[in-house]
A and B are shown apart, each in its own frame.
Chain A
Amino acid sequence: MLNRTLAPASKQVNDINFIAPTKQQLANGIQVFTVNVGQQELVRIEFIFENVNYNQNKPLQAVTVNSLINNGTKTLSAKEIAEKVDYYGAFLQTEYGADQTTITLFSLNKHLVAVLPIVKSILNESVFPQQELDIFIQNQKQKLQVNLQKNDFIARKTFANTIFGDTAYGSDISMADYDALKRDDLLTYFKAAFKPANCTIIAAGKFEAKEFDLLNQFFGQEWENNEPSTVNELTYAPVEGGEIYIEKADAVQSAIRMGNLSINRKHQDFPALQILNCLLGGYFGSRLMANIREDKGYTYGIGSGIASLKDAGYFFIATEVGTEVCANALQEIEKEINILKTELVGEEELDLVRNFMLGSMLGSLENAFSHADKFKNIYFSGLDYDYYSKYIHTVKTISAEELKAIANTYLNWNAMTRVVVGKK
């Protein structure tokens, strides 16, 4: 007779294999990192540029250049670019991040030779037509109007601006910032940022010698852009914690976002802090979820995280809760933080978190793209694969005492900026 009350035997994840990329160089010196695995005849090629020349009076320069870079070049209109990319079943995505701007091409191998020239045109000779800029400004302002009615959007924006001020990480974008966009500024930024010296290429998928030769053919010469630039390097003053309450009279839920400046991946305590974060709010079974969702039913979801940026890290907790239970939810969050600082985590819970995190790491290495993503995490933090060895070692061996010490070093309710948007 089958005994359904007994769990089947299980094993802790032991081998986690990272596939390090092959490093090559184009003729002009651009570094190319290649993860060549997978059966499907497809590739993902990322052209990554450091954000440069940050000007707090023109906070939208980089993000606008990124959005409009595929909206017209010397030889192709916005519509022609889109039509050609779509015709070959490719995807061209432009992504603006806090530290880097990425132009990503997804393509089947058989169409690569047809789509790379389009990317070349975009990276070399974008012209940012005034008409496209006008449409962009109009539509982005409308999007901002809609977003400003979302409590979680306001909470996120207020939180970032409070801890990072008007830097690239925290700028509080308003309608006026869109109105101030000038085509000439975009062209200047484009010439400074989109050049070989500021570019790293990461390719993943079925990327072999033939594909590398194509890349070299289209991107290995001199490019048109060569204006001087300085990679952003941020400094900011630490802020005192405290509550910021933005009342919305007709809210049925309040958005809560709280946290503080913290360490990033470069710091030796980062893996330990990630484990602590996982316990607190980093997975479905976390203490915040168990208490505030699964026990009290105050929310659909609550979570915490640590973001690692180039020049900073920050810790945050975010949720949306019923307005009538907002005060209770805040109390419970504070309580959970304090428990981590005063009580040792039990061995059973710690074991569970160890296994969960190892399984999660294993599962995050699914295909060529995810191996490339793991590489990006360390490469742009100036680290190597030892980081992951140390991470795995820490997950397997950290003690309850060490976690308590980490909690006391990095979690402090009074030091947190606590934003509440809605009612309480």
Chain B
Amino acid sequence: MVDFNRFTLANGLKVLVHEDPTTPMAVLNILYDVGARDEEHNKTGFAHLFEHLMFGGSVNIPSYDEPLQRVGGENNAFTSNDITNYYITLPATNIETAFWLESDRMLSLAFSEKSLDTQRNVVMEEFKQRYLNQPYGDVWLKLRPLAYKTHPYQWATIGQDLAQIENAKMEDVKAFFKKHYNPQNAVLVVGGNVKTEEVKKLAEKWFEPIPAGDKYTRNLPKELPQTEARTLTVTANVPLNAIYIAFKMPARIDATYQTYDLMSDILSQGQSSRLYNSLLKEQQLFSDINAYLSSSLDEGLFVVEGKLVTGIDKEVAEKAIWEELNKLTTDLVSDDELTKVKNKSESIMVFAEMNLLDKAMNLAYYELLGDAATLNTEIDKYLAVTAAQIKEVATTTFVKEKSSTLYYLANA
């Protein structure tokens, strides 16, 4: 159970407070409702590049990191296709420093050319390190445009290519800030050894004077229903053949989300899972096999991926994956198997309460989904899933015509 209090400032900023007196630390987490899906077609990778620029100094404070480290704090951030999330942990006695720094960069950035120049380079090196200089590193750069034809999920958070990052201009940076970095487009969560009254005073002092700005209304191109199987074959300098199959699934907020999540657990959570036992241990077709969800805020992906044992024919391996998926469409999962994945979900949620930052991030994310209170009732949705529901979503999802398959093959 993650308790919290909630209030909204006059400029529209939502604030949640989680009091945890067992720790001497505090966390300030701010989620901006902007991700790579909000980028323009030829300016991809921008939300993430922008996240880097948020550390390049703000209108009144030349350095973001230095004053925070000076009071014993640490920070980081991440960008996804849906959101950009910034967080600070620091000794609770110094919580006001976090308010000072975080509010100033919501007010306005320094927009320094030097910072833009440097971070363009840093992000290009990140692109190389994670996507180009790794075996299989560019899989998602290939799989996304195969699965999505109109929705901006067709590009990865890092962007489509290095050139678009290289071409980012200061005017783009300023426009992006004005459009997305407004109080009413953010959720602030403060947690740890703090009191709600104190947080309220600090929020009013530091955040409330920030102008509300214009409300961004999201209007993204809708993906048309997929009606034919898509395939792409890539060869690269990798040692093993690999297969990636992506199916469309409903948005995170859909009532069937938990059913999909448990279904992916049945297929691939741990060493008792179906794909691991059948395809890796018994048939020995794969040396590595997984199923997981993209958990996207718009229509998402259910992905099955595996690396083939050397010498195994890719048609044989692919057929074996489909046999496992088809079983879910024809047979009900047993009570024990369903109980098992439910118990595991329950455990994961209890263990997540051990970590203050996780609690704060989860509150912010569930508030974005609609209501932070649903974090505490999420487990009930998992416990209510039935075997018949799993069979039903498997039947609507695991259809060849709705699949996108990437064969990532070793150079001969």
> Which of A's residues lie within 8 Å of B, judged by CB?
2, 4-5, 7-13, 15, 38-42, 70, 78-79, 81-83, 85-91, 106-108, 135, 138-139, 142-143, 145-146, 148-151, 250-253, 283-285, 293-300, 320-322, 351-352, 355-356, 358-360, 362-363, 366-369
In the bound complex, how far is the Cα of B91 from the Cα of A85, in angstroms? 38
B136 proximity list for chain A (CB < 8 A): 146
B126 proximal to A (CB < 8 A): yes
- 20 additional A-B pairs beyond A13-B72, A42-B347, A139-B287, beta carbons within 8 Å, are A7-B100, A13-B91, A40-B350, A70-B271, A86-B270, A87-B336, A135-B281, A138-B284, A139-B280, A139-B288, A142-B239, A146-B239, A149-B134, A149-B237, A150-B134, A285-B69, A296-B118, A300-B126, A366-B354, A366-B355
B161 proximal to A (CB < 8 A): no
Contact check, B100 vs A8: say whether CB atoms are below 8 A apart: yes
Selected contact of A143 from candidates B65, B134, B272, B287, CB within 8 Å = B287
Selected contact of A284 from candidates B74, B103, B117, B121, CB within 8 Å = B74
Name the residue on B nearest A42 (C-beta): B350
In the bound complex, how far is the Cα of B99 from the Cα of A63, in angstroms? 47
Selected contact of A363 from candidates B59, B74, B129, CB within 8 Å = B74
> Which of B's residues lie within 8 Å of A, judged by CB?
22-25, 59-61, 65-67, 69-75, 89-91, 93-94, 96-97, 99-100, 103-104, 107, 117-126, 128-130, 132-136, 205-206, 209, 237-240, 269-272, 277, 280-281, 284, 287-288, 307, 309-310, 336, 339-341, 343-347, 350-351, 353-356
Contact check, B125 vs A297: say whether CB atoms are below 8 A apart: yes
Contact check, A149 vs B343: say whether CB atoms are below 8 A apart: no
Q: How many whole Å from B3's CB to the nearest CB in chain A? A: 12
8 contacts between A and B (CB under 8 A): A78-B271, A83-B272, A138-B309, A149-B238, A285-B66, A355-B71, A359-B74, A362-B91
Name the residue on B nearest A356 (C-beta): B69
Contact check, B100 vs A78: say whether CB atoms are below 8 A apart: no
Contact check, B347 vs A108: say whether CB atoms are below 8 A apart: yes
Contact check, A360 vs B74: say whether CB atoms are below 8 A apart: yes
B121 proximity list for chain A (CB < 8 A): 296-298
Contact check, B61 vs A4: say whether CB atoms are below 8 A apart: yes
Contact check, B347 vs A90: say whether CB atoms are below 8 A apart: yes
Q: A300-B122, A369-B354 are in contact. Are A252 and B133 (CB under 8 A)?
A: yes
Contact check, A135 vs B280: say whether CB atoms are below 8 A apart: yes
In the bound complex, how far is the Cα of B97 from the Cα of A322, in angstroms? 36
B126 proximity list for chain A (CB < 8 A): 300
Q: A39-B22, A79-B277, A150-B135 are in contact. Are A359 and B91 (CB under 8 A)?
A: yes
Q: How many whole Å from B356's CB to the nearest CB in chain A? A: 6
Q: How many whole Å from B374's CB to the nearest CB in chain A? A: 20
In the bound complex, how far is the Cα of B126 from the Cα of A321, in angstroms? 9
Q: How many whole Å from A247's CB to the nearest CB in chain B? A: 14
Contact check, A2 vs B69: say whether CB atoms are below 8 A apart: no
Contact check, A2 vs B336: say whether CB atoms are below 8 A apart: no
A40 proximity list for chain B (CB < 8 A): 350-351, 353-354
In the bound complex, how far is the Cα of B67 from the Cα of A91, in angstroms? 40
Name the residue on B nearest A358 (C-beta): B72
A299 proximity list for chain B (CB < 8 A): 122, 125, 129
Contact check, B125 vs A38: say whether CB atoms are below 8 A apart: no
In the bound complex, how far is the Cα of B89 from the Cα of A402, in angstroms? 30
Contact check, A79 vs B133: say whether CB atoms are below 8 A apart: no
